[in-house]
Structure 1
Amino acid sequence: MAAQGSIEGQLVNRPPLFDGEDYTYWKTRMEYFLQGFDFQIWSIIEEGDLVVLNNRQNWTEDDRKKISLNCKAKSILCCALSKKEFNRVSSCKSAMEMWEKLRITYEGTIKVKETRIDILVTQYERFQMQSGESITQMFNRFTDITNGLAGLGKSYEMGDMVRKILRSLPASWTPKVTAIEEANDLKRMSLEKLIGSLMAHEINMERLGESSSRKKHSNALKATEGSSDEEFEDEVSNEDSDDEEALLSRRLQWILAKKKYQSGRKKTEGKDTKRAEPICYECKKPGHIKAECPKLKKTEVRKKDSTRKYKKKVVTKHLVQVR
């Protein structure tokens, strides 16, 4: 149907084809086509055939025109249906009956219609912009819901839909939402103008996001060079930041980078300290040289004491012999 619809959409004198898929879409297009082709034919489909009271033998020119319009309405509907859908309504006597049978088949009875409306209304009320979703994607989902409601006879005011979209945006859009509410009359604002403004803001946010990413990288490099907390706060305060979460993220990255730098510096200083300490060749312990070794000094003291005792003993022995 998609390929056929693309071709038929270029011809204003050919009705859109319905093959059993996406009835709401076809129904809306068919209404526009019939109203543009001949509004009286659309009235026949919506309200019923034009009434002819005279017998066929007594038809007037006006009666013949009415009969012709009734038949034309049926003919246009038949041309807009595939073989499967035509077989579904071929036994109907009027264009109105054909139209109603298609509606009940694909929209259901009044109770089914009301149930579908309730489901779509619930989706409308709970509508929120999803994480990672663009403004265009969000608006397409919103349009699917509102178009489905419109096809079932339920519609919202333009101002209500504008407010609903603004309420569905995440917290990071709060400054933009506030600016739109203060600068515009939401009751008169169109969806097209709103979406255009939001798309422009989205592009600016993406551009600023790329710039912020580059600044984060620059701040991390500065932190590894030993910049102080005060310098970092001054740099962050000068950045364009609409989101406190982004500020905390930058702060965390800076702290992690600084810790990594300090940890690496301590390891380097420790290695350098160990390398700078001398090692004693006597006791094999670091922190002094052999000439300053406490162990060696103790040995020398012991030797001196032993030498003194020996000399004293020799002198004493010599004196005794002399006497």
Structure 2
Amino acid sequence: MALVPHGGGAGGSAMPLFCPILTRDNYTVWAIKVEANLDVQGVWEAVVPEDSTVAVDPEKNKRARAYLLGALSEDILLQVSSKKMAAAIWECLKARFVGADRVKAARLSTLRGEFDRLIMADGEELDIYAGKIGCMAAKFASLGGTLSDAQMVKKLLDTVPDSLFAAVAGIEQFCDVETICFDDVLGRLKAFQERTERRKAAVGGERRGDQLLLTAAQWEARRRQRGGGHDHDDDDDGSSVASGAKGRRGKCWNCGVRGHFSRDCRQPRKEKALLADVEDHPCLL
């Protein structure tokens, strides 16, 4: 990319302008940059005259033609170098890269399909995805089509991840999505995303609900801590004592009847319950 000095007028300082090089794949972006650079140099009217009946200033034509030729790759340059007018070079490039009406219609149809299939990928940043939608709008404009703010807003709200669903619902409820600006919607989503990430960092991750189910080890530890063990442990001499106090008969873990231990129970073996008993813990009802 070359630097083209721009004279700031009589007594003004020179301002370097970037000269983008046209390739086979970047015409839309190239045309936007070149138009802006030629306009700031005051020679854009030599490329696209405001009044076709007025002759183009020869000096402006030379400057605009020199800039355009300097912004072309060698293979494209050789095809338009014989043209002496900047407007003719511009029209030739536009016809080649944009095409005739039928080609433009076909490209617009293809572009609409790409826009319909556009979706935000997992882990993709919101700014990057919004940039893709904005780029689509520029491509539509270069082909003579339009992509309204309402269409861009709908695409953004319909394709963001589920983590932004609350913000999307709020925007659709309190704002008119047909008239709201695309940048305004993007700002609201970014603010919600930043607040959510800040909250997660403050609480150390996503909050979880209280758990009523306990593992067998947790339930046994809670029983022992409260002195209400219902089973027994064997001493080294083979005698049995209750988990809480010696000589106390608790409730059988197998059948639920008090007066014997689970190892002496004659009922069919069952899995240990993981839920607290209603009798012992009515607060869990």
State the TM-score, normalized to the length of structure 1: 0.56
Alpha carbons of structure 1 residues 160 and 49: separation in structure 2 relative to 1, 3 Å: closer
Partner of 1:196: 187
Match for 2:48 among 46, 49, 61?
46
Deviations 1:269-314 (A, max 9, x none): 99963557827xxxxxxx9xxxxxxxxxxxxxxxxxxxxxxxxxxx
Distance in structure 1 (CA, Å) of the matches to 2:142 and 2:37: 16
- Residue 81 of structure 1 and its aligned partner are, at CA, apart by 2.8
Partner of 1:27: 31
2:47 corresponds to which letter in structure 1? I
Deviations 1:149-198 (A, max 9, x none): 22222222223322321222234433312322343344443322222211
1:259 corresponds to which letter in structure 2? T
Secondary structure of the equivalent of 2:48? helix
> Is the contact between residue 35 and residue 42 of structure 1 (CA under 8 Å) also seen in structure 2?
yes
Partner of 2:129: 138
Distance in structure 2 (CA, Å) of the matches to 1:71 and 1:50: 18
- The structure 1 segments of at least 4 consecutive aligned residues displaced by more than 4 Å after TM superposition are 7-13, 47-52, 262-265, 268-272, 274-277
Partner of 2:65: 74
> Is the contact between residue 22 and residue 73 of structure 2 (CA under 8 Å) also seen in structure 1?
yes
1:121 paired with 2:112, answer: yes
Stretch of structure 1 that moved more, 95-104 or 270-279:
270-279
Secondary structure of the equivalent of 1:81? coil
Q: Which fold has the larger relative contact order, with Cα–Cα distance below 8 Å and residues 6 or more apart in sequence? A: 1
Alpha carbons of structure 1 residues 203 and 66: separation in structure 2 relative to 1, 3 Å: closer
Q: Flag structure 2 segments of 5+ consecutive residues without an equivalent.
A: 7-13, 240-262, 264-285
- Residue 144 of structure 1 and its aligned partner are, at CA, apart by 2.5
1:42 corresponds to which letter in structure 2? W
Distance in structure 1 (CA, Å) of the matches to 2:50 and 2:187: 43
Alpha carbons of structure 1 residues 176 and 276: separation in structure 2 relative to 1, 3 Å: farther
Distance in structure 2 (CA, Å) of the matches to 1:93 and 1:86: 13
Counting matched residue pairs gives: 227
- Residue 27 of structure 1 and its aligned partner are, at CA, apart by 0.5
Larger Rg, first or second structure (1 or 2):
1
- Residue 215 of structure 1 and its aligned partner are, at CA, apart by 4.2
Partner of 2:20: 17
- Residue 24 of structure 1 and its aligned partner are, at CA, apart by 1.3
**Structure with more of its chain in strand, by fraction:** 2
Stretch of structure 1 that moved more, 103-112 or 7-16:
7-16
Partner of 2:157: 166
Secondary structure of the equivalent of 2:215? helix
State the TM-score, normalized to the length of structure 2: 0.62
Secondary structure of the equivalent of 1:143? helix
Distance in structure 1 (CA, Å) of the matches to 2:157 and 2:18: 38
- Residue 204 of structure 1 and its aligned partner are, at CA, apart by 1.7
> Is the contact between residue 135 and residue 202 of structure 1 (CA under 8 Å) also seen in structure 2?
no
- Residue 30 of structure 1 and its aligned partner are, at CA, apart by 1.2
2:30 corresponds to which letter in structure 1? W
1:193 corresponds to which letter in structure 2? D
Secondary structure of the equivalent of 1:273? strand
Match for 2:88 among 81, 97, 115?
97
Deviations 1:27-68 (A, max 9, x none): 011122223333xx434423699679xxxxxxxxxx7x7444
Deviations 1:175-232 (A, max 9, x none): 312322343344443322222211111112223334263644x96xxx6xxxxx3xxx
Alpha carbons of structure 1 residues 119 and 264: separation in structure 2 relative to 1, 3 Å: farther
Distance in structure 2 (CA, Å) of the matches to 1:104 and 1:275: 97
RMSD: 4.0
> Is the contact between residue 49 and residue 95 of structure 1 (CA under 8 Å) also seen in structure 2?
no
Secondary structure of the equivalent of 1:213? coil
Distance in structure 1 (CA, Å) of the matches to 2:86 and 2:236: 103
2:238 corresponds to which letter in structure 1? P
Distance in structure 2 (CA, Å) of the matches to 1:144 and 1:165: 13
Alpha carbons of structure 1 residues 190 and 48: separation in structure 2 relative to 1, 3 Å: closer
